[in-house]
Structure 1
């Protein structure tokens, strides 16, 4: 497919996404759905249950233990929802003894597709949600695990919205920290008359995650990190959304950058399924609880 054709196709997909999203009935987060083995099965379930909570999450009566004093807040990627991204990891973290929370933010209330809106606005909503979690659990800080935009967006909260004193660890799975060129699709869309304006009107966060965007320039100006927070990035060489995949990495103190293929050379997990990859899941668990970390491999 030619570059311009791919650009038009991408624009059409975004338009279809928005039409489906805005036609979905409004609803708040609902009861937890079942655990899922991959993003495809989670998405199928979410079609009929767009507000389902990931299993083990969103219990506001949960009280942290001494072993795991910080609740874990999960943050999904662009166009996904909490259940899509976290129906595999959430119950594992709950089983490990964490209080786990996963909001749907940045999209139509009750809609299937979330995290489409202006990222600073979503970050503000995210901060309000964290305050709600802290108030309910009595914890002084949370840890955050985010996928794609969900791994990058909390950095805005940390840097500009007072979140640094409320977060211990931020783990990003294929986060869009330094944007994406979508293998040339971004430049193709920019070359179309009104192309970027069209995309931005439908999906503000899509344009804000383009490499070189004003949003990312502002976010990364003066350094990638803030003091007092530990950062872990898990990237995959076969990422087809955040390209080049190394744009996920952070620089600065208290940063650990990891790659799936350094643990299993033949791991072909791509962007959308990384939250279900067994190596990525173990690396998340290691980052949240370093005292009990162990090194995953192709089989375990």
Structure 2
């Protein structure tokens, strides 16, 4: 019995060390993947956050937490400068709620103007990682002559709002900028209004203005750009 005791102790010690080795993290193991940046979706004129249902649903299916997908709604008749101030508050709220340091901003149509004002004039460039414009009237659109109110006036080519917004660097600061435009978009005229100097500018297939939000190919490209 005395002879067996050292062997038994040795066997137990070896088993314990083996168990600890299995529980210890392997050297060089990959760290857990970080959560993606939260996304703020900014809709266009006479619309609401619900218009992003298809795209937000695709992001959710591809792993974005629901808490990181903000289909924001605002009053589209007000000045885009006023909306930009409200967007600043919303982005600060989302960053605090998620613990993130930056957001991605995905916009459709007029939503590109308030969000660009935010990045250029309200310190947003420090809080935005990727900025995306789908069919944005970045240099104005003739169709804005057929609607009224402050925001429509600002969307008209040559408006003082657009002249100031586009003065100097059209894509200021650290954010990565991208636009998508379609030759079949009858809302944005001319088509050349959408692309921005310094951005990644992509022409889509023959899509309507609304289809830029729902097209699967555009979604895949947007997803790849925001990472």
TM-score (norm 1): 0.62
The runs of at least 4 aligned residues of structure 1 exceeding 4 Å deviation read none
Task: Report matched runs for 1:111-150 at 5 Å.
Answer: 115-150=76-111
- The alignment status of 1:231 with 2:192, answered yes or no, reads no
Provide closer, same or farther for how the CA distance between residues 168 and 95 of structure 1 changes in structure 2, counting only shifts above 3 A. same
Mapped partners of 1:78, 1:245: distance in 2: 18
Which of residues 23, 40, 46 in structure 2 aligns to 1:73?
Answer: 40
1:218 CA displacement: 0.6
Match of 1:158 in 2: 119
Which of residues 157, 169, 174 in structure 1 aligns to 2:135?
Answer: 174
- The alignment status of 1:100 with 2:61, answered yes or no, reads no
2:80–2:113 Cα contact (<8 Å) kept: no
Match of 2:159 in 1: 213
Gapped regions of structure 2 (runs ≥ 5): 1-31
Match of 1:273 in 2: 211
- The alignment status of 1:240 with 2:178, answered yes or no, reads no
Gapped regions of structure 1 (runs ≥ 5): 1-64, 108-114, 190-198, 262-267, 290-300
Mapped partners of 1:77, 1:215: distance in 2: 17
Mapped partners of 1:260, 1:100: distance in 2: 24
Mapped partners of 2:34, 2:184: distance in 1: 35
1:87 CA displacement: 1.1
Q: CA RMSD in A?
A: 1.5
Matched residue SS, 1:211: coil
Q: Give the number of the structure whose alpha-carbon radius of gyration is greater.
A: 2
Q: Deviations over 1:222-256 (max 9, x none)?
A: 1201121101101111111111112100002xx20
Matched residue SS, 1:172: strand
Mapped partners of 1:283, 1:206: distance in 2: 29
1:68–1:97 Cα contact (<8 Å) kept: no
Q: Deviations over 1:106-133 (max 9, x none)?
A: x2xxxxxxx2211100010011000000
Matched residue SS, 2:72: coil
TM-score (norm 2): 0.81
Count of aligned positions:
193
Match of 2:201 in 1: 257
Mapped partners of 2:113, 2:179: distance in 1: 10
1:170–1:230 Cα contact (<8 Å) kept: yes
Matched residue SS, 2:217: helix
Mapped partners of 1:152, 1:259: distance in 2: 19
2:126–2:173 Cα contact (<8 Å) kept: no
1:67 CA displacement: 4.1
